[in-house]
Amino acid sequence: MEKALLALAASLAIGIPAMATAYAQAKIGSAGAGTVAEKPETSGTMIIMEAIPETIVILGFVVAIMMILQLA
Amino acid sequence: MIREMLRLAVWGLTPKRSEVVETLHDFGLLHVVNPVEPTPPSEEEEVLKFTRAKVLGMLEGLEWKDWPSLTDESLDAARERVDLGIEGVVGEIDRSLDSFRQRLAALLEEKRRLAVSLADLKKAHQVVFHFIPFVSSEDSSDRNLTLWWVKDSVIQKTLSAVRGRIQKKSSEDTESRDALRFHLLNTDKGQAVLALSVESAFAADVEELMRLQGTVPWKAPEGFHRNRTRETLFAVEEGLKETGNRLEALSDEISRARDDWGPRLASLYILLDEKLEETLVESRSLTRGETFLIEGWIPADSLEALVNLLKTRFGDAILIQWRYPSSEEWHRVPALLCNPAATRPFEILLKLMPHPLYKGVDPTTLVAIFFPFFSGCMVGDAGYGILIGLLGLWLSRNKSHSLLPPVGKILIWVCGWSIAWGITFGEFFGDLGHRLFHMEPLWVERSHAVLPVLIFSIALGVAHVSIGLFLGFLEGVRKKHRHLWMERLGSLIVLLSLVGLLLIVRLNMPRPFFSLNISFLVIGTALLLAGGKLGGVIETFSALGNVLSYVRIAAIGLSSAILAIVATRFVDVLGLSFLGILMALIIHILNFVLAIGGSGLHSARLHYVEFFSKFYQGGGKEFRPFSRRRFSWKKPC
C-alpha cells in the first residue's frame, strides 16, 4: 500500500506541475506569437519567456525521482 | 572580447568633403556619429530614395531574390559603369531602365490577364468536359441546345414546367416524348447546370419559360461565346490549351528577363543605397563656414591605417583628432565583439539578447565552453553525435543564409561533446552500441543510474552559477558599484557555504569544518544584507532555484536515452522485419530532432536565464561601420 501511495505521489509530483506548465506555456505562447508578429526582434525574449515555466516541471521531476528512489 | 574604441574627428575644407566621405566609405571602419540632428531630406536624397525604390520595385516585379549570387566583382563592375555622380547615376538609370520598365510592366500585365482568363476557363472547362458527349450527340439542325444554371431544389419543378409547355404546344403526345432531352451536372454550391435539347419549334417557348422560372443561362468566359453551343464548348476547350501555352511562354520570357536583369538591377540597388548613405553622412556633417567636421568611433588598432590613408590623399587639407572615450560616455560607444575564429560562431547566441555594453563583459568564450558541453551532455549519444556532426558540416558549408555557417560550426562543437558523453554513458543509438559492439559505459549508464547524473548536473549548476556570480562581482568592482559587488559576492559565499554544509553533513567531516562554513555563511549573509538588503537575500534564493534548474540536463538526457532504447526494443518485439526496422527508425529520427532542438533550446535558456542574469548588462550599441557592401566582408578582428 505504501509503495502504491509513493508511486501515486511521484506521478502527481510530475503530473500536476506538467499541467500547470502546459497552461502557462499556452498563455505565454499565444501572447508571444502576437508579440513576435508585431515586433520580430523580440523573438529571443519570447523563446526565453516560453522556456521559463519549465522549471516547475524540472523541480517536480526531482521530487518524483527522489520518491521513486525510495520505492526502489 | 570587446575591442577598444577611439573617438575620431576629421576637420577639412568644404570642397573636399565629398572626397573625404568617399575615402572613409572605402576604408569602411568608422562608425559615424552624426553631430547634427536629422534635417528634412534634401532634394538629392529624395531623388536617390525614389530611384532606389523604383529599382527595388522592378526587382520585386521580376520576383528576383537571388541576392547571395551577387559577388564583389559584379558590384565593382557596376561601380565602374555608374561612376558618374548623383545626377549622372540617376539620369543613366532613368534612360536605360525606362524602356525595360515599360516592357516589364506590359509583360506582367499580360501575365496577370492570362492568369485570370485561365482561371475562368478552368472553371468553365468543368462544364465543358461533362457536356461535350451529350452536346455532340444532340447537335443537329432540327434541335436547339441551351445550358442553364438551376438550383438543385427546383430541377424537377423546372423540367415538369418545360414538359408541360411542350405538350401544350405540340398537337400529338407521341411527338412530345422526343421533344425534350436533358442532361444534368451537379456542382458543389447547391446549383446544377442543366443542358436542354428541344426541337427547334419549341426553342423560343422553352427559353421564355426558363427565364420566367428565374434560371440563368450558362455563359462561356468572355471571348469564347459562339452561335452554337457545341462550337462554344469546343472554343473553351481550345482556349484553355492555348491560354496555358501562352502563359507558359510568357513565364519563360519573364524568367529570362529575371536572369538577365536581376543581378544588374540588384547591383544598381546596392550602389544607390551606398550613394544615399554617403549623401546622408555629408548632409549631416557639422559645417562651420568653409570647414566641415565628421566624427565617429574607430577600433583603436585601425587608427594608424586610416590616418595614413587620409594624410596620403589629402595632406594638410584636413585635420585629424582622436581621443579615448571618457567613462561618462561609455554607454554611447559602440561595442564591437572580437573573438577568435573558433568561438566567433557563438556570437549569434548573443544576438537574442540586448547588445553588450562597451566596457561590459563579452561572454562569448564562456558560452563557447559551456553551451556545447551542456548540449552534448543532454544528447549523450555517440551515434546521434555523429549525425549532428554531419549536419553541422553540411550547414557550415551552406552559404544560402548568413546564419547557417555559424549554426553549423556550433553543431560541430556539440557533435564533439555528444560523442564524448556518448562514450562516457556507453550509448550509441541507445543500447545498439552495447548490442552490436559490446560498448560499455566509462562512467554510468544514464537509464539505470539516475541519481549520479542528477547530482552531477546540480554540481554543474553550482559551478556555472558561481562563475556568473563571480563575474558579476568583478563587474561591480570594476564599475565601483558597491551594492552590486557586495550582493554578488554575498550570494556566491552563501551558495558555496550551503554546498559546503551539505558535503560536511553527508561525508561526516570534522566539526571545525562545520564551524568554518557557518562563519562563511554569516559573512555572506552580512554582505548580502549590506549590498541588497532584503532583495539580496531573495536574490540568493533565486540563485538556489537557478542551480536546481540545471537538473534539466539530466532530465532531458534521461528521456533521450530511454526513447533511444525504446526504438531498439521495437526490433525485439516486432523482429528483424521491415515494420520493426521502420518503427525503430521513425523513433530514432524523432529522438534525434528532439535531441537537437531540446538540447539547444535548454542549453541556451540555462545561459540566458540562469547564467547571464548574474553579470550580463545589455543596452550597448552595435558597431555599424560606414562601409561599402562587401559580400566577402569579415568582421575586423
- For residue B141, the SS3 value is coil
Q: Which three cell numbers stand for residue B623?
A: 558597431
Question: Residue type for A23, please?
Answer: Y
The 10s digit of each residue's pLDDT in B554-599 is: 999 988 998 898 888 888 888 888 888 999 999 999 999 988 988 9
pLDDT for B38 equals 67
Q: Which three cell numbers stand for residue B362?
A: 563579452
Task: Work out the pLDDT band at A33, boundaries 50, 70, 90.
Answer: very high
**B262 and B175 in a common domain:** no
B chain contacts of residue A36, beta-carbon cutoff 8 Å: none
B451 at interface of A, judged by CB pairs closer than 8 A: yes
What's the structural domain count of chain B? 4
Q: How far apart are CA B417 and CA B374, in angstroms?
A: 8
- Contact check, Cβ <8 Å, A47/B609: no
ipTM exceeding cut-off 0.85 for this assembly: no
**B247 and B105 in a common domain:** yes
B chain contacts of residue A58, beta-carbon cutoff 8 Å: 548-549, 551-552, 555
pLDDT for B101 equals 72
Q: How far apart are CA A24 and CA A54, in angstroms?
A: 9
**B205 and B101 in a common domain:** no
**B424 and B308 in a common domain:** no
**B159 and B108 in a common domain:** no
- For residue B357, the SS3 value is coil
pLDDT over 90 at A9, yes or no: yes
Give the residue on B whose Cα is nearest the Cα of A42: B352
A chain contacts of residue B353, beta-carbon cutoff 8 Å: 44
The 10s digit of each residue's pLDDT in B102-155 is: 777 788 888 888 888 888 888 888 778 788 888 888 777 678 888 888 888 888
Query: To which H or E segment does residue B11 belong?
Result: strand B5-13
A44 closest CB neighbour out of B353, B549, B555: B353
- Contact check, Cβ <8 Å, A62/B548: yes
**B232 and B107 in a common domain:** yes
CA triple B383-B386-B387, angle to 5 deg? 90
Q: How far apart are CA B378 and CA B418, in angstroms?
A: 8
Q: Is residue B388 assigned to a domain?
A: yes
Distances (CA, A) of B70 to B56, B117, B265: 15, 37, 11
Could you name the CATH architecture of A2-71?
A: Up-down Bundle (1.20)
**Which candidate, B588, B611, B585, B595, places its Cα nearest to that of B418?**
B595
How many angstroms separate the CA of residue B403 from the nearest CA in chain A?
15
Q: How far apart are CA B552 and CA B598, in angstroms?
A: 10
- Contact check, Cβ <8 Å, B552/A52: no
Q: Is residue B305 assigned to a domain?
A: yes
Cα dihedral B225, B230, B233, B239 sign: negative
Do strands B621-622 and B318-323 pair parallel, antiparallel, or not at all (unpaired)?
A: unpaired
CATH of the domain at B156: 3.30.70.2750
How many angstroms separate the CA of residue A1 from the nearest CA in chain B?
25
How many Cβ pairs closer than 8 A exist between chain A and B? 43
- Contact check, Cβ <8 Å, A69/B450: yes
**B559 and B454 in a common domain:** yes
DSSP B324: P
pLDDT for B495 equals 93
The residue ranges of chain B whose pLDDT is under 70 are: 35-38, 81-90, 92-97, 99, 141, 171-178, 630-637
Full residue range of the structural domain in which residue B110 is found: 37-132+228-284
**B149 and B127 in a common domain:** no
**B589 and B463 in a common domain:** yes
Q: Is residue B487 assigned to a domain?
A: no
B65 at interface of A, judged by CB pairs closer than 8 A: no
The two most distant CA atoms of chain A are separated, in Å, by 55
B chain contacts of residue A55, beta-carbon cutoff 8 Å: 545, 548-549
